[in-house]
């Protein structure tokens, strides 16, 4: 369980199930890696990404850091993209 405060002030939480706030960013070459067996492997090689449902900012974790440091990216149109939203 975790929470993250967006730059816009919105509190992001990954408690809900299904979780439509966070996901993982994975490079193509890592997907082709033969040793990729399950979701824990994805967590080891991917970068955690949180999406704010208010402003659309993406918080991308730094790889290999033990702290909660993220880098923020803002969509040019300022509209949330629903990147983590599941199809209905």
> Does any domain span residue 84?
no
Find the mean pLDDT for residues 56-61. Answer: 92
Beta strands in the chain (DSSP E): 3-5, 11-13, 22-25, 47-51, 58-61, 70-73
DSSP string, 61-80: EPTT-SS--EEEE--TT---
> Does any domain span residue 83?
no
pTM of the model: 0.75
Please count the structural domains in the chain: 1
**Of residues 53 and 33, more confidently modeled:** 53
pLDDT-derived band of residue 17, with 50, 70 and 90 as boundaries?
confident
> Does any domain span residue 53?
yes
Domain of residue 23: give its range. 3-73
CA quadruple 40, 25, 88, 56: dihedral sign: positive
């Amino acid at each position: 369980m975790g929470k993250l405060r967006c730059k816009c002030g919105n509190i992001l939480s990954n408690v809900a199930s299904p979780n439509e706030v966070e996901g993982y960013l994975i490079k193509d070459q890592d997907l082709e890696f033969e040793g990729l067996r399950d979701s824990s492997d994805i967590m080891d090689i991917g970068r955690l990404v949180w999406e704010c449902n208010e402003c659309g900012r993406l918080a991308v974790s730094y790889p290999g850091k033990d702290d909660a440091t993220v880098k923020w990216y803002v969509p040019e149109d300022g509209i949330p993209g629903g990147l983590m939203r599941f199809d209905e």
